[in-house]
Amino acid sequence: MSERDDKLAIAEVIQNWAIWRDTGDWDNLRTTFHRDGTMTATWFSGTADDFIAGAKASASKGSRSAHFIGGSVIRVTGWKALAETRIILLIRDELDGVEIDVTCYGRFYDRFVKDEGERWCILRRGVVYEKDRLDPVRPGATIVLDDTVLERFPEGYRHIAYVQTKRGMKVAPDRPTPRSPELEQLYRDGNAWLDA
């Protein structure tokens, strides 16, 4: 397989992940991850299996979200690759009786491996959160946010974190955002892994 073919195969996995995650195709979603795959997001850090179980449980309670996938930059070294992909995460929810939309811009940062030398799959997925916003669905509706909750989280994902916190989810305050030490560490670790 050529490097170009490898990159196309990896890009297809990235696209499939979004469609299968958002449509609740949990069995196919599992195929995008390595058997030892992991996922880290605002509300989760752990195995791919536990992530899928959590996403499935949220969907069964009416959670509505969609991932729009943009372009990817992919670096391949033998059986390993790093991929960084633009995303927009859209969430529809309710906050204090007001229907809202949350829009979060960011990037997936993925470590890919060839599973048993055959197919590309995600070994580790993280998210870099760039910026987000919260809007009422109905024009003219008023939302009042608690600044003490909002300010607990970085600017890159504070609105999505706010909504998730209000829903009772435990949200990490230290996920990678632009120019953060966490982002620098993510890049250092990824580059060292790819070059090893």
- pLDDT value, residue 26: 97
Q: Which two tokens stand for residue 32?
A: 């995008």
CA–CA separation, 175 and 106 (whole Å): 12
Using pLDDT thresholds of 50, 70 and 90, give the confidence band for residue 117.
confident
Using pLDDT thresholds of 50, 70 and 90, give the confidence band for residue 81.
very high
Residue listed under structure tokens 């992530």: 51
**Topology of domain 3-186, CATH:** Nuclear Transport Factor 2; Chain: A, (3.10.450)
Domain spans of the chain, in order of start:
3-186
What's the angle, vertex CA 183, arms to CA 163 and CA 111, rounded to 5?
95
pLDDT tens digits for range 1-47 = 799 999 999 999 999 999 999 999 999 999 999 999 999 999 999 99
pLDDT tens digits for range 88-106 = 999 999 999 999 999 999 9
Residues forming a β-bridge with 89: 67, 104
pLDDT tens digits for range 119-166 = 999 999 999 999 999 999 999 999 999 999 999 999 999 999 999 999
- pLDDT value, residue 88: 98
Using pLDDT thresholds of 50, 70 and 90, give the confidence band for residue 113.
very high
Would the pLDDT of 51 be above 80?
yes
Mean pLDDT for the chain? 96
Exposed/middle/buried for residue 66 (C-beta within 10 Å: 0-12, 13-18, 19+): middle
The CB density around residue 61, as the number of other CB atoms within 10 Å, is: 7
Would the pLDDT of 60 be above 90?
no
